[in-house]
């Protein structure tokens, strides 16, 4: 395979001031190193207020003009009002496509009350970029092994996980991400906000990270806001899959226990 350079923007969010958030994100993206292949943004970095899909796409298209022409941008996810419904939706913007590709949170969070106002999404794309396949599992969708397995079986070797989660949940997220990375022999990259608060008042303190497919390495970036770079050696996936043929077993239709 090859190596890819991933940039993860750990964002210091102003809860309901999208214009300030936009300006800060624009500064980060302007200053990305030109070698970046993929840049990933967190969930809800624009703020907590829903906006229209048209406004959101316009904002993301403007930001996309600031990054390298070879770069794939994963916008994170935002509450968007579509008719009478609200979705948690992000966009994948690629230099190879004329229009952004939507991604959605399939399972709104029960814990923070999203199910009372967020409609479950259906968009779970896998996109090809520079010869590799990339997928997105928004926040708690990572807790559903079927979601990440679906992405991996469709070829994703990197799954981005944009989140907005509190500090006490970071150890759980790290363990979960390492499990998803190993059982699917892929990289999982979680990108979080920082210096803000969860709906119940708990602190959100960053700690974005990348979980590796061999289970030996988890690279975490601490609480400081900023852009964090990591070079992912995709040859590691080839090596690990020679030992752990989990995906191939599923592709071959090996029998599994029936559901009760």
CA 191, chain centre distance (Å): 6
Q: Which residues of the chain have pLDDT under 50?
A: none
| Spatial distance between the Cα atoms of 85 and 120, rounded to a whole number of angstroms | 10
Answer for the pair 46, 63: CB distance below 8 angstroms, yes or no: no
- pTM flag (> 0.85): yes
CATH of the domain at 42: 3.60.110.10
Q: Which domain, by its residues, includes 196?
A: 3-251
In a domain, 256, yes or no: no
Residue 69 lies inside a defined structural domain of this protein = yes
Give the chain's domain count. Answer: 1
Tell me, yes or no, whether 260 lies in a domain.
no
Of 257, 138, 234, the C-alpha closest to 185 is 234
CA distances, 143 to each of 149, 173, 197, 209, 224 (Å): 11, 9, 22, 16, 26
In the prediction, which pLDDT does 81 show? 98
User: How are beta strands 85-93 and 78-82 bridged, if at all?
Assistant: antiparallel
Within a domain: 259: no
- Residue 220 maps to a domain: yes
Q: Has residue 258 been placed in a domain?
A: no
Tens digits of per-residue pLDDT, 158-191?
Answer: 999 999 999 999 999 999 999 999 999 999 999 9
Q: What's the pLDDT at 14?
A: 82
**257 located within any domain:** no
Neighbouring CB atoms inside 10 A of 196's CB total 21
The reply to whether 114 falls in a domain is yes
């Amino acid at each position: 395979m090859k190596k890819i350079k991933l940039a993860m923007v750990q964002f210091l969010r102003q809860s309901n001031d999208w214009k300030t958030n936009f300006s800060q994100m624009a500064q980060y993206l302007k200053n990305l190193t030109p070698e970046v292949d993929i840049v990933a943004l967190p969930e809800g970095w624009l703020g907590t207020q829903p906006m229209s899909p048209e406004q959101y796409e316009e904002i993301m298209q403007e930001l996309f003009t600031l990054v390298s022409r070879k770069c794939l941008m994963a916008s994170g996810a935002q509450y968007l009002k579509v008719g009478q419904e609200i979705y948690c939706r992000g966009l994948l913007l690629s230099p190879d496509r004329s229009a952004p590709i939507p991604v959605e949170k399939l399972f709104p969070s029960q814990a923070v009350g999203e199910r009372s106002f967020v409609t479950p999404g259906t968009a779970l794309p896998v996109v090809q970029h520079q010869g590799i396949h990339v997928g997105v599992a928004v926040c708690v969708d990572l807790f559903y092994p079927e979601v990440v397995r679906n992405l991996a079986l469709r070829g994703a070797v990197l799954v981005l996980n944009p989140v907005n989660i509190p500090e006490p949940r970071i150890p759980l997220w790290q363990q979960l991400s390492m499990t998803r990375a190993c059982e699917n022999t892929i990289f999982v990259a979680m990108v979080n906000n920082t210096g803000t608060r969860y709906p119940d008042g708990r602190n959100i303190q960053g700690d974005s990270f990348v979980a590796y497919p061999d289970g030996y390495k988890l690279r975490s970036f601490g609480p400081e806001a900023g852009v964090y770079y990591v070079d992912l050696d995709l040859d590691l996936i080839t090596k690990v899959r020679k030992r752990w043929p989990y995906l191939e077993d599923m592709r071959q239709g090996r029998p599994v226990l029936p559901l009760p």
